[in-house]
Amino acid sequence: MNQLIITLSKQFPDLSFVPGTTFTWSPKQRQIIYRESASGDAAAWSLLHEVGHALLKHEDFDSDFDLLIMEMEAWERAKALAAAHNIVIDADHIEDCLDTYRDWLYQRSTCPTCTSSSLQTDKRTYECFNCGMEWQVSSSRHCRPYRRRSKLNKVIP
């Protein structure tokens, strides 16, 4: 993976590649953070995925569904980058990664009262079509979707 980082650094000099504990894109610092201890195909694929976010100028998302779309776009860009570097990203790996976001979205959008799928009304709020319940979710995409009801028929994190 070190050779790939060197190659990508030369190809995209406006991006910084910084070792860290996880793979992520930091738009404010224009940094691709990569897990230094990672190796193998999946590590290279993750690195290319984060570069995909950078090239697409992904910064923030307005809804949970927007985040899922951004993830799909970043994987599409990663596949194109991979092809340019004679790398093939396993389609099952991409689907497994996207499934984590799909599962996260499903959990957040499931009504805690009647378990119907619901609509996100703002960045942190969902409202159920079926029973009218409204609840808040964490603003973090890394947070497990714990919810609890308040006394006002609302669920809060």
Q: Could you give the CA distance from residue 122 to residue 61 in angstroms, rounded to a whole number?
A: 11
pTM: 0.87
Tens digit of each residue's pLDDT (9 = 90 or more) over 21-75: 999 999 999 999 999 999 999 999 999 999 999 999 999 999 999 999 999 999 9
Residue 38: per-residue pLDDT: 93
DSSP 142: T
Query: For the chain, what are the domain ranges?
Result: 2-107, 112-157
Tens digit of each residue's pLDDT (9 = 90 or more) over 17-33: 999 999 999 999 999 99
2-107 CATH pick, 1.10.10, 2.40.128, 1.10.8, 1.10.357: 1.10.10
pLDDT level of residue 127 (50, 70, 90 thresholds): very high
**Sheet containing strand 16-20, strands side by side:** 16-20, 31-35, 24-26
Average pLDDT of the chain is 90
